[in-house]
Structure 1
Amino acid sequence: MSEVVKGVISRTKNAPTELVDIVIPDPGAHDVVVKVQTCGVCHTDLAYATGGINDEYPFLLGHEAAGVVESVGEAVSHVQVGDFVVLNWRAVCGECRACRKGKPHLCFDTHNASVPMTLTDGTELTPALGIGAFADKTLVHEGQCTKVDPSADPAVACLLGCGVMAGLGAAMNTGQVSRGDSVAVIGCGGVGDAAIAGAELAGATTIIAIDRDAGKFEWATELGATHTIDASKTDDVAEAVRELTGGNGADVVVEAVGRPETYKTAFYARDLAGTVVLVGVPTPEMRLEMPLVDFFSHGGALKSSWYGDCLPERDFPMLVDLYLQGRLPLEKFVTERIGIDGIDEAFTSMEAGKVLRSVVVL
């Protein structure tokens, strides 16, 4: 039977969030009801609330979540009741042209729940990234549930659901950082610092953290940065990177801001045959103007990283295991644990750069 639980919605553009009753319907054949334990507060949730994604209000916010499978549809085989899972928004279809080419990390037709969650008056909710996990329970497709070691702290494990995975994957999967590489990361928020942690895990020996807020460098250094550059006090950041890399530029530069000016810096801060990875999300009106000859005269690669080019079934269990072994300090990303009524305050702290992640504990 359907049930009523509490959830956080954004009803209209730029309005404060609301904690309201929402209806979780009976799961469809391949759907799963998950009792949410924790959910990280991500920039994407704020983008939904402020109209930066689309106008399909009301939104059920939250997507970076971990919890326990409570009930399953009649055809579910991927998980079972009682499994501890991290939710993902890349439940690959296996049938689209990307999947058939052996590139499921670029799947164009990922699965979501087959029936909508609603308000008590029947209004359909749009769940953030197909998940909607600022709620006591949520309804997702079975493929959106990735089983991981249940001994992991849910407040840590949930972060793999979005931002931390995006940064780790930008370095490890998209940038393919390897032993001995030099890496520069522009933007030291949660995603950028995760890229730093990923670069260290992959064996990079020079890891340069770049930001305009020197207060963020302590986090970056704890997570593996060997050098820092305060962009607010440096006339030529690209030249500063070259000075720290034998005059060559970095092997991999991760741009975790998503602005034309920082992308230019990333381009010129890389070695001639280096790689630029764009993981920061630009807005639609942004434009990039650069001499075409500069693209021609540099080798290497320019890549975009969507969800860190991850495959949840491959990456989430492995990264949780590395965390439990003490080899990946995911716990350092949890700045604060908050209640479900603290979302708006968490948005404010996030925008001010005061946290890597606020995590809602339900």
Structure 2
Amino acid sequence: MGLCHSDLHYLKGSLDISLPVVLGHEVAGIVERVGSAVTRIKTGERVVATVTPSCGACRNCISGRPTQCERVDSMRERQRPRLLSPDGSSVESLGGIGAFAEAFLVKEASVAVVGSDLPPQVACLLGCCISTGVGAVIHGAKVGPEDTVAVIGCGGVGIAAIQGARLAGARRIIAIDAVPAKLELARNFGATDTVVSSSDPTETLIQVRSLLPQGVSHAIEAVGRSQTAELAFSLLRPNGTATILGLMPTGSELRIPADALVYGDRHLQGAYMGANRFLSDVDMFTDHYLNNRLDLDAMVTKELPFERINEGFEAMAEASTIRVVLNMTDRQL
């Protein structure tokens, strides 16, 4: 399973969640048992999980936006609690998954079958990191060969977005990060240009405009800060779109100049979990990986046994880290 910054945000309390809770959501595993109503998944299959199950029948699902499924809350509900503490009280699970455990219980709609030709340490990335980053470019922003793209933040989701922009054929891909070492990594994944961001957003804007004087047609924010989301909007050329991916603390607000929004026909949008289409996206990602167009192996920069999970969270702050993956057991998945 992969360690995601969302897990870290909940762990530190910067995002709200009911306690007690089992965290963990970016995970691949083997199906041990299925319920009598399950028709799509079989025992023994390897699956990857998502926090955005979709019903496939509501207005948002049938219009191609399953991450905004109108029935997602009811789909996660259970008549009986999924987890209980020793005293019998209910324990929450992040996103209806709770993968930091030897086994987890999910609805059929929360998993997709993934082939055995995908190594387990990279298969788990499809559940969040790749779905969010690549999905945001392909489904959320709908980037094409004529577009120029700036990606703010070169962690796991940002690197996935850079790869998504490359897959989409973007003609220029500018990676932006405060850590120069991360920019070197970004070039390996498809960035054509790099900019070391400054604490002063104006300086960062000047650097980007020196590369593309009119600005970029798409800016992808993968940090989760108001300042970087506002920077994403400021980088846009007229008619451009800023797509915000990073989760921000409750109560965060954005301020953007109204004249740039209106006179420039610029757009500001979110793309929760990359606006992915999970069940079909997993097959797409798998094909791109197997045909060497999507580099998942190099994104796994550290593998640790589950017992060293705290070390894994600490490693997330290292400049060389893209994704830390935990192995629950020695069992071959």
Task: Say yes or no: TM over 0.5.
Answer: yes
Structure 2 counterpart of 1:59, from 16, 21, 41: 21
Task: Determine the structure 1 residue equivalent to 2:47.
Answer: 85
Structure 2 counterpart of 1:150, from 78, 94, 116: 116
Contact 1:60 1:128 (C-alpha < 8 Å) held by counterparts: yes
Kindly report which structure 2 residues correspond to 1:252-263, keeping only aligned pairs within 5 A, or say none.
252-263=218-229
Deviation at 1:154, TM superposition (A): 0.8
Give aligned pairs, total.
323
Task: Determine the structure 2 residue equivalent to 1:33.
Answer: none
Task: Determine the structure 1 residue equivalent to 2:314.
Answer: 348
Contact 1:113 1:139 (C-alpha < 8 Å) held by counterparts: no
Per-residue CA deviation, residues 49-73 of structure 1 (Å, 9 max, x unaligned), is: 2233334211112110001111001
Deviation at 1:353, TM superposition (A): 4.2
Aligned mates of 1:232, 1:55 — CA distance in 2: 32
Opposite residue 175 of structure 1, the aligned amino acid is: A
Matched, 1:108 2:74: no
Aligned mates of 2:245, 2:237 — CA distance in 1: 19
Deviation at 1:212, TM superposition (A): 0.8
Q: Which runs of 5+ in 1 are unaligned?
A: 1-38
Task: Determine the structure 2 residue equivalent to 1:241.
Answer: 208
Task: Determine the structure 2 residue equivalent to 1:134.
Answer: 100
Deviation at 1:102, TM superposition (A): 5.0
Per-residue CA deviation, residues 264-295 of structure 1 (Å, 9 max, x unaligned), is: 22112111111111111222232323332221
Task: Determine the structure 1 residue equivalent to 2:4.
Answer: 42
Kindly report which structure 2 residues correspond to 1:225-240, keeping only aligned pairs within 5 A, or say none.
225-232=191-198, 236-240=203-207
Structure 2 SS opposite 1:275: strand
Kindly report which structure 2 residues correspond to 1:1-362, keeping only aligned pairs within 5 A, or say none.
39-99=1-61, 101=63, 103-110=65-72, 111-112=75-76, 114=78, 115=80, 116-232=82-198, 236-245=203-212, 247-362=213-328
Per-residue CA deviation, residues 185-206 of structure 1 (Å, 9 max, x unaligned), is: 1111111111101001111121
Structure 2 SS opposite 1:125: strand
Opposite residue 345 of structure 1, the aligned amino acid is: E
Contact 1:78 1:143 (C-alpha < 8 Å) held by counterparts: no
Q: Which runs of 5+ in 2 are unaligned?
A: 329-333
Aligned mates of 2:95, 2:161 — CA distance in 1: 22
Structure 2 SS opposite 1:286: coil
Contact 2:260 2:266 (C-alpha < 8 Å) held by counterparts: no
Contact 1:173 1:308 (C-alpha < 8 Å) held by counterparts: yes
Aligned mates of 2:7, 2:183 — CA distance in 1: 25
Please state which structure has a larger fraction of its residues in helix: 2
Aligned mates of 2:217, 2:63 — CA distance in 1: 28
Opposite residue 194 of structure 2, the aligned amino acid is: T
Opposite residue 41 of structure 1, the aligned amino acid is: L
Q: Aligned pair in 2 of structure 1 residues 316, 102: CA closer, same or farther (>3 Å)? A: closer
Contact 2:140 2:243 (C-alpha < 8 Å) held by counterparts: yes
Structure 2 SS opposite 1:53: coil
Percent of residue pairs bearing the same amino acid type = 38
Aligned mates of 2:57, 2:264 — CA distance in 1: 36
Contact 2:217 2:241 (C-alpha < 8 Å) held by counterparts: yes
Per-residue CA deviation, residues 304-340 of structure 1 (Å, 9 max, x unaligned), is: 1101111111101110121111111011110111111
Aligned mates of 1:224, 1:187 — CA distance in 2: 14
Aligned mates of 1:88, 1:55 — CA distance in 2: 18
Aligned mates of 2:18, 2:6 — CA distance in 1: 15
Q: Aligned pair in 2 of structure 1 residues 195, 138: CA closer, same or farther (>3 Å)? A: same
Deviation at 1:101, TM superposition (A): 4.8
Aligned mates of 1:55, 1:303 — CA distance in 2: 24
Aligned mates of 1:253, 1:233 — CA distance in 2: 18
Aligned mates of 1:353, 1:138 — CA distance in 2: 32
Opposite residue 293 of structure 2, the aligned amino acid is: R
Contact 2:198 2:204 (C-alpha < 8 Å) held by counterparts: no
Q: Aligned pair in 2 of structure 1 residues 289, 226: CA closer, same or farther (>3 Å)? A: same
Contact 1:237 1:269 (C-alpha < 8 Å) held by counterparts: no
Deviation at 1:88, TM superposition (A): 1.0
Aligned mates of 1:258, 1:48 — CA distance in 2: 13
Aligned mates of 1:109, 1:51 — CA distance in 2: 27
Compare 93-102 and 53-62 and name the one that shifted more.
93-102
Aligned mates of 2:317, 2:92 — CA distance in 1: 24
Contact 1:169 1:310 (C-alpha < 8 Å) held by counterparts: yes
Aligned mates of 1:207, 1:237 — CA distance in 2: 15
Aligned mates of 2:301, 2:16 — CA distance in 1: 29
Contact 2:153 2:177 (C-alpha < 8 Å) held by counterparts: yes
Contact 2:15 2:248 (C-alpha < 8 Å) held by counterparts: no
Aligned mates of 1:102, 1:166 — CA distance in 2: 15
Opposite residue 260 of structure 2, the aligned amino acid is: D
Cα RMSD between the aligned structures?
1.9
Aligned mates of 2:221, 2:173 — CA distance in 1: 13
